[in-house]
């Protein structure tokens, strides 16, 4: 299967003889593999697997460990996230474990699927026999491994540092790992029952954690005294990620697991006293400020715009004035051209009418066919329209309508001959025709009045616009101030009327106790409502004859009448407000119209001011998070885990020893050994020593030491152990596994002192 990784493949695999063991530190966080006798592992990668599909080919690829983020754009990772073979610190997904081992052996340089080397692989303390059996079966059946040995990583780290004088022969090994923490006692055989040491594997497995304590006596671990809690580096990273995401929700995409892991290892520390440290940050001050760290996210400052100088303002004003003058000249030229065109058209129509008057009646149709008009009336109507357009273009007011009225009267008498005839002189058919003519006349006159009104309003608007332009040219600054003042007054007036319609007479901004428009009807509206109810219920239950009498129609007119002058005023004010706003937008580029209020957004609501983003908006400040997150090693209840912390685990481990020897307990506490990734936090040794001192009698010797390299010392200790000539005595082969069965594997344990 294809692998995608940045790790280079080793090329010297064939140089090592088959008797050279391969050492594997199978941690829940990182996988390390190398050759026995070397000081550094050859291949190190994160112990995770991801199997996405290629977007173009659809081929499934295997990504083991860290990957290049730039390559993920070619793969569909929505259905395949990173997966681990571990549940806490126990391997249970052996399908994923097989992908990890395939990749590890491939990067180590193996050419085939068969591995002709002994293997020493680490496991957790008191690993369940099922997990150990499945791992042995995977190595024997899939890879054809000759012999296998299992060992505890924390014990190998203890033995390696014991050779360098960091810890004593007897002591406590505390290993805060990725998902659990263990305490392993290393106790001498003297004074202890050998059978109890061997039968320690029969103790039931308690799933959870990544914090493990162990006892060492005469260099050998005492598994009966081991204890574990379900807390580790994973929980610290996850806790820090949650706190930062809640504190900076706009930068959640920045808080990837890898970045938060780096922030944890770079900035977090263990507080000597958690309560005092929290009070220090709560009070603030110089000391708290010195302990605060800042992570600056990528940020590009916005270009700063300097205010224009007086010369620049004058130059822009002159440019605007020249542009306005040019536009006015263009408009005047266009207007002159339009006037000339209309005048020529008017002269042509007048000349055409003169010629038409000289043509004999029998030649009129042939003459009109040449001009394109159907009748003399059409020519006169066109003449009237051209005359009106010419007067409008010149800006002349309309003349008196006497002549037009006379013409209209004559036209009316021609079009509607039955209007002035009395009804008693008409037949029933003529009466119907008279009603139709009255309706047509009324409709036509209404349309003419509406058209005349629109023309007058348009002329009035043009006149006002021309006056405003003259005022602006005389004094632009004064005109601009007046327009702003007028806009403000109109806006407040319109908004006040809207508030009154919504909240009645209450204008203090409080909606409680206010009345709506329906509760403050005026007298005319109340009368209308009374008429509606009377018309609905006073007719009785008989036949509905509403409309048969003339008074019914008078009642209908009264019901449809609404003498609410406020609405007419409101329409005029809103129209004027829109005109002033449009005018201000034309002459003032900095003008921004105010938003109109609605029922859901009252007029009193202020528009939120959005300030530009600054450098401080892209800073991640780490204050109390620096010591609050790793504090869960000593107080797991901060994240909802009801278990003991590191300091209390040492007391639990010592109390589990079969022998109650005070001298032995003093030897153990005088050599407390810290290993694992979480032991790299600054201040953890001092905090652990203070916690153990509170549990032990006064005067007890207590010494806490940290491994030379808490991360790699486990692999280095296993490498030295596998390089020993007597290592083959601690391994077992495939035949031993199948002959002795799983029960023998339950009791199997290596002896760390060779």
DSSP H helical ranges for 538-616: 550-560, 565-587
pLDDT score for 456: 87
pLDDT-derived band at 81, boundaries 50, 70, 90 = confident
pLDDT score for 649: 93
Euclidean distance between CA atoms 307 and 303, whole angstroms: 13
pLDDT score for 523: 57
Is the pLDDT at 509 greater than 50? The verdict is: no
Residues 6+ apart with CB under 8 A from 133: 742, 745
pLDDT score for 740: 86
Q: What is the pLDDT of residues 262-310, one digit of tens each?
A: 999 999 999 999 999 999 999 988 999 999 999 999 988 877 777 888 8
Is the pLDDT at 529 greater than 90? The verdict is: no
**Residue 172 bridge partners (DSSP):** 185, 672
pLDDT score for 620: 94
> Closest Cα to residue 185, out of 168, 207, 206, 199?
168
Q: What is the pLDDT of residues 177-205, one digit of tens each?
A: 999 999 988 765 444 443 333 333 333 33
pLDDT score for 555: 63
Q: What is the mean pLDDT of residues 132-150?
A: 94
3-class SS of residue 53? strand
**Residue 34 bridge partners (DSSP):** 23
pLDDT-derived band at 380, boundaries 50, 70, 90 = confident
Lowest-confidence segment of 147-161, 543-557, 634-648 by average pLDDT: 543-557
**Higher pLDDT among residues 246 and 2, named by residue:** 246
pLDDT-derived band at 120, boundaries 50, 70, 90 = very high
Is the pLDDT at 639 greater than 70? The verdict is: yes
| Strand 227-229, strand 180-186: pairing | antiparallel
In angstroms, the first-to-last Cα distance of the chain is: 41
pLDDT score for 244: 95
Euclidean distance between CA atoms 654 and 71, whole angstroms: 51
pLDDT score for 143: 94
pLDDT score for 648: 93
pLDDT score for 694: 93
pLDDT-derived band at 375, boundaries 50, 70, 90 = confident
**Higher pLDDT among residues 535 and 495, named by residue:** 495
**Higher pLDDT among residues 1 and 229, named by residue:** 229
- Give the pTM: 0.62
3-class SS of residue 493? helix
**Higher pLDDT among residues 78 and 238, named by residue:** 238
**Higher pLDDT among residues 233 and 481, named by residue:** 233
pLDDT score for 530: 67
Q: What is the mean pLDDT of residues 248-273?
A: 93
Lowest-confidence segment of 42-46, 303-307, 515-519, 607-611 by average pLDDT: 515-519
Is the pLDDT at 400 greater than 70? The verdict is: no
% of the chain exceeding 70 in pLDDT: 81
Is the pLDDT at 148 greater than 50? The verdict is: yes
Mean pLDDT of the chain: 82
φ, ψ dihedrals at 38, nearest 5°: -90, 160
Quote the longest CA-to-CA distance of the chain: 149
pLDDT score for 269: 96
pLDDT-derived band at 682, boundaries 50, 70, 90 = very high
Lowest-confidence segment of 188-202, 204-218, 542-556 by average pLDDT: 188-202
Q: What is the mean pLDDT of residues 494-510?
A: 63
> Closest Cα to residue 602, out of 467, 496, 487?
496
pLDDT score for 215: 58
Sign of the CA dihedral running 378, 380, 381, 386: positive
Lowest-confidence segment of 68-72, 137-141, 350-354, 679-683 by average pLDDT: 68-72
Lowest-confidence segment of 248-252, 312-316, 462-466 by average pLDDT: 462-466
pLDDT-derived band at 429, boundaries 50, 70, 90 = confident
Is the pLDDT at 473 greater than 50? The verdict is: yes
> Closest Cα to residue 98, out of 32, 29, 151, 49?
49
Q: What is the mean pLDDT of residues 726-735?
A: 92
**Higher pLDDT among residues 674 and 477, named by residue:** 674
pLDDT score for 40: 95
Residues 6+ apart with CB under 8 A from 701: 666, 669, 670
């Amino acid at each position: 299967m294809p692998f995608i990784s940045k790790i280079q493949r080793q090329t010297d695999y064939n140089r090592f003889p088959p008797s050279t063991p391969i050492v594997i530190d199978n941690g829940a966080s990182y996988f390390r593999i190398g050759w026995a006798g070397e000081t550094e592992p050859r291949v190190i990668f994160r112990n995770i697997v991801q199997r996405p599909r290629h977007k173009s080919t659809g081929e499934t690829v295997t990504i083991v460990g860290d990957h290049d983020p730039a390559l993920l754009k070619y793969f569909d990772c929505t259905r395949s996230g990173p997966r681990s073979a571990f549940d806490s610190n126990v391997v249970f997904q052996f399908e994923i474990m097989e992908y990890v081992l395939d990749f590890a052996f491939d990067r180590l340089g193996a050419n085939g699927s068969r591995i002709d080397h002994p293997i020493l692989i680490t496991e957790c303390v008191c690993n369940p026999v099922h997990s150990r059996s499945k791992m042995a079966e995977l190595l024997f059946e899939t890879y054809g491994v000759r012999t296998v040995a299992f060992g505890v990583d924390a014990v190998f780290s203890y033995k390696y540092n014991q050779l360098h004088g960091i810890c004593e022969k007897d002591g406590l090994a505390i290993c805060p790992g990725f998902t659990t923490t263990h305490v392993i006692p290393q106790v001498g055989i003297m004074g202890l029952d050998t059978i109890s040491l061997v039968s320690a594997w029969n103790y039931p497995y308690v799933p959870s954690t990544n914090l493990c304590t162990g006892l060492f006596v005469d260099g050998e671990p005492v598994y009966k005294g081991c204890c574990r809690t379900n807390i580790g580096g994973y929980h610290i990273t996850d806790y820090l990620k949650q706190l930062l995401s809640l504190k900076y929700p706009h930068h959640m995409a920045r808080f990837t697991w890898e970045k938060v892991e780096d922030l944890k290892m770079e900035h977090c520390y263990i507080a000597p006293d958690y309560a005092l440290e929290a009070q220090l940050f709560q009070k603030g001050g110089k000391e708290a400020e010195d302990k605060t760290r800042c992570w600056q996210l990528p940020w590009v400052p916005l270009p700063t715009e300097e205010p224009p100088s007086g010369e620049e303002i004058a130059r822009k004003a002159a440019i605007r004035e020249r542009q306005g003058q040019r536009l006015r000249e263009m408009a005047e030229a266009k207007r002159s051209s339009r006037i000339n065109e209309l005048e020529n058209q008017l002269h042509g129509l007048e000349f055409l009418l003169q010629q038409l008057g000289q043509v004999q009646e029998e030649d009129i149709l042939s003459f009109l066919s040449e001009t394109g008009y159907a009748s003399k009336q059409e020519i006169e109507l066109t003449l009237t329209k051209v005359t009106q357009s010419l007067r409008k273009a010149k800006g002349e007011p309309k003349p008196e309508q006497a002549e037009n009225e006379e013409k209209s009267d004559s036209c009316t008498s021609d079009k509607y001959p039955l209007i002035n005839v009395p009804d008693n002189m008409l037949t029933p058919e003529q009466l119907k025709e008279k009603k139709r003519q009255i309706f047509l006349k009324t409709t036509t006159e209404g349309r003419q009045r509406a058209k005349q009104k629109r023309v007058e309003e348009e002329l009035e608007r043009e006149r006002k616009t021309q006056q405003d332009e003259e005022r602006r040219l005389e004094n632009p600054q004064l005109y601009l101030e007046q327009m702003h003042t007028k806009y403000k007054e109109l806006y407040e007036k319109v908004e006040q009327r809207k508030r009154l319609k919504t909240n009645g007479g209450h204008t203090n901004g409080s909606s409680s106790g206010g009345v709506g428009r329906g509760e403050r009807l005026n007298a005319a509206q109340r009368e209308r409502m009374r008429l509606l109810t009377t018309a609905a219920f006073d007719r009785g239950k008989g036949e509905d004859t509403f409309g048969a009498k003339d008074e019914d129609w008078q009642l209908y007119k009264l019901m449809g009448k609404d003498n609410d002058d406020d609405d007419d005023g409101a329409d005029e004010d809103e129209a004027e407000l829109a005109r002033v706003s449009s005018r201000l937008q034309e002459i003032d580029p900095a003008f921004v119209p105010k938003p109109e209020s609605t029922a859901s957004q009252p007029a009193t609501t202020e528009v939120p001011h959005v300030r530009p983003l600054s450098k401080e908006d892209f800073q991640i400040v780490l204050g109390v998070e620096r010591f609050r997150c790793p504090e869960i090693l000593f107080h797991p209840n901060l994240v909802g885990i009801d278990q003991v912390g590191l300091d209390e685990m040492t007391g639990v481990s010592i109390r589990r020893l079969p022998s109650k020897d005070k001298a032995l307990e003093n030897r153990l506490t005088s050599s407390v050994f810290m290993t694992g990734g979480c032991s790299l936090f600054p201040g953890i040794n001092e905090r652990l020593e203070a916690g153990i001192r509170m549990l032990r009698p006064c005067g007890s010797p207590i010494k806490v030491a940290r491994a030379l390299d808490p991360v790699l010392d486990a692999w280095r200790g296993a490498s030295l152990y596998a390089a020993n000539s007597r290592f083959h005595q601690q391994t077992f082969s495939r035949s031993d596994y199948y002959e002795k069965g799983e029960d023998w594997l339950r009791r199997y344990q290596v002896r760390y002192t060779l």
